[in-house]
A = this chain, B = another copy of it.
Amino acid sequence: MVTRRRTDGTRPAAADSAPEAVGEAAGGEAETGSGPLASVLRPVRAGNGFEETLEQVLQLLRLGLVPPGGRLPAERELSQHLGVSRVTLREVLKVLQDQGMVESRRGRYGGTFVLPRAGAADGSDELRRRVAAVDLEDTLRFREVLETGAAGLCADGLPAEGEGRLRAALEATQGARLEDYRRQDTLLHLTLAELSGSTSLAAGYASVRATLNELLDCIPLLVRNLEHSQQQHAAVVEAVLDRDAEAAREMMREHCGGTAALLRGFLA
């Protein structure tokens, strides 16, 4: 999907090739290595504005925050929220439109609307490539950490106002039809992450969950498994409302373990 940009080859290697050269003096130890440094030296502004914006908007769709048939925020508004110019955002929307993922309508009450998933007829190949690029272990582990963390934090310090939202989100998953299940499931977990009281956690979860959903789209949705998930959801929410952090974490860990096993089985 989406060739465009990154005009030619991916960032020419330019000159340089010095092997390593960090922390050699004073403090010593030369803990150089591709070790700790690698955690920090990740690229600022990976890719260009266009690519990053595309990533964000795709995340919006993958998380189901805007359901099929739903309308995205107006271009002027969305571009502002994303901190990007309207021109750049429009380039992204143009691509999504060409891909048949969204549709733009002009005039008052117009806007950009999400189209139902188009069977991924030709997207299948693209999907495989994308998924191959994902670090499965990283995704699954990080997800488990954030989920259990969120569950624990919620159990510890959920504001009374949050109880209603949580219950509502749980009920929505229980009443969901099959084709809407993933979306409601995502929203439930996202709600939990938000209620954790850490915006960093919520942002991190949104990102990892978008990746996860992409992976989940590659494997069958097993009704058997789904029912099990439902029970676990209920148990987690119950533990949170009981303010039993340990139980909430444990249930969530189990819940994540299930998905992880499924994905490892099908994709590894």
Binding site for B on A (CB under 8 A): 11, 14-16, 18, 21-29, 31, 35-37, 39-46, 49, 52-53, 55-56, 59-60, 63-74, 76-78, 80-84, 111, 113, 135, 137-139, 141-142, 144-146, 148-150, 152-153, 165, 172, 180, 183, 187, 190-191, 193-194, 196-206, 208
In angstroms, how far is the closest chain B Cβ from the Cβ of A94? 17
Partner of A142, one of B26, B52, B201: B201
A247 CB to nearest B CB, Å: 13
Q: Are A65 and B36 in contact (CB under 8 A)?
A: yes
A45 surroundings in chain B (CB, below 8 A): 45, 49, 52, 83-84
- Structural contact, B16 and A77, CB atoms closer than 8 A: yes
Complex Cα–Cα for A129 and B65 (A): 35
User: By the criterion CB–CB under 8 Å, are B76 and A15 in contact?
Assistant: yes
Point out the residues of chain B lying under 8 angstroms from A37, CB to CB: 60, 65, 73
Provide the residues of chain B in CB contact with A65, threshold 8 Å. 22-23, 31, 36-37, 40
Asked if residues B201 and A145 are in contact (CB atoms below 8 Å), the reply is yes
Copies of this subunit: 2
CB of B69 within 8 A of CB of A26, answer yes
Whether A142 contacts B198 in the complex (CB less than 8 A), given A11-B83, A45-B84, comes out as yes
Is the beta-carbon distance between B18 and A74 smaller than 8 angstroms?
yes
Tell me the minimal C-beta distance from A27 to chain B in angstroms. 3
Q: Could you tell me if A200 and B23 are in contact, using CB atoms closer than 8 angstroms?
A: no
Tell me, in angstroms, the Cα distance from A124 to B26 when the chains sit together.
Answer: 26
A-B contact pairs, 26 of them (CB 8 A): A14-B76, A18-B74, A21-B77, A22-B70, A22-B71, A23-B71, A25-B70, A26-B67, A31-B65, A35-B191, A36-B63, A36-B187, A36-B191, A36-B206, A39-B194, A39-B206, A40-B59, A41-B81, A43-B81, A44-B56, A45-B83, A139-B200, A141-B201, A142-B198, A145-B149, A146-B149
**B-side contacts of A146, CB under 8 Å:** 145, 149
Residues of B within 8 A of A11 (CB): 80, 83
Bound complex: CA A152 to CA B147 (Å): 13
Pair B203/A39 contact, Cβ less than 8 Å? yes
Task: Give A46 Cβ to nearest chain B Cβ, in Å.
Answer: 6
Separation of A14 and B84 alpha carbons in the complex (Å): 12
Please tell me if the beta carbons of A23 and B149 are within 8 angstroms of each other in the complex.
Answer: no
Most buried by B among A42, A142, A183: A142
